[in-house]
Structure 1
């Protein structure tokens, strides 16, 4: 279980080099950008949750706060009984994370990339090799398993990074845009893996702006815009609150007031 309690994140606005806006009023308060604003929810085991939002809605910031890459401005994240701000390493051991940048070691093969991360998680020997072989088979990586990662396609990088993230069989899996830009074959492999993880009773959350992926995979959908949760529930509940029979239109109906406000 992952519990997010009243989570907020603020960033100081960056100044452009060599450019300064005219000052109309003196202020001792720096400009602040709010990326997340008082977000709360609980993710349950055995469910796939889709975090749905436009680019810049706060999805990646939320994911980074959950796995401890960023520190919250307010609020807490709990992974099982570990509070991330107090015990980030213990919390991360419960997590498998696919960030927005795969960051593979290009001189290592796909198998070596996966093995290295398994060893970082304390795995070794036959159990590690069996876990690697199972993931290679599940994701259809046989043809690239012993090739160096340098020169991999986007789909090949994504498969390797995904296998690397979950080789230690974490209870909670966080995926940032896992199918964005992938071909049909790779997307199907990722879908199969997510269903397998759900059947094993694991807690899966992935961020996306692809409506068909979210509606086809998720038990639960969280709609986020401008750092706030606008809706949280099953597909049927999102359609009801969004006043539509289609997820795309329901989503637009939910975020449109936020978009109008942002252009006001």
Structure 2
């Protein structure tokens, strides 16, 4: 799942390439990706891009005088570049490349393809006058990547919550932009169990969790900035210390990183660093 550091790198790249460019073609390959049926993406043909911004895990392309194309990447969505509308992009020639659901062509020949690799359509596109018209954007909580994000913002949405702390970190209405991978990394850095309730955290643990949240997200954003968008996923995977590393040695203590069940997915943790040696429940066997 794309998270804020990778989406930030993507929108910065899109903004650099597309600002001032006219949209000359729009192809919605999968109709379910268009969420504003009365204002389809094709209505943006002939408009120029003013810039790009990130809204949590969403891409926001400012288009024309006062319109926005907001793209939710969902669980498996991403973007790639093609060379021209007439030519197949290099990615299309690669076996098992994710399918393109929405394609934008620009007046300089650039093609931006929004893809989705999932078994169900998670990518979504809205054409709106204000990004807050997209329900998920309107509900976003404070963003740890923002320079103005402060401890008071963190305490307001985390401290005292009777909910597992990993779930709080991933709850977009509480903290924007964090998903399964970075929540694992944050909790490992803070040396906190992913299943403890936020309300049970001591002041010292809240201090560590705040520092880890801000440090991890801002550090990852800095590292991903400037990485080509087709290499961002690999760069993210390579940077992980525990997420996706089950069976490997913890880089801090040397214990074995383990899997555990979380919601409808699998997450990772270090028992020595985070749970006092306790092993959390494993994913159910298929």
The TM tier, using the shorter chain, reads: under 0.3
TM-score by length of 2: 0.25
Which structure carries more relative contact order (alpha carbon 8 Å, separation 6+)? 1
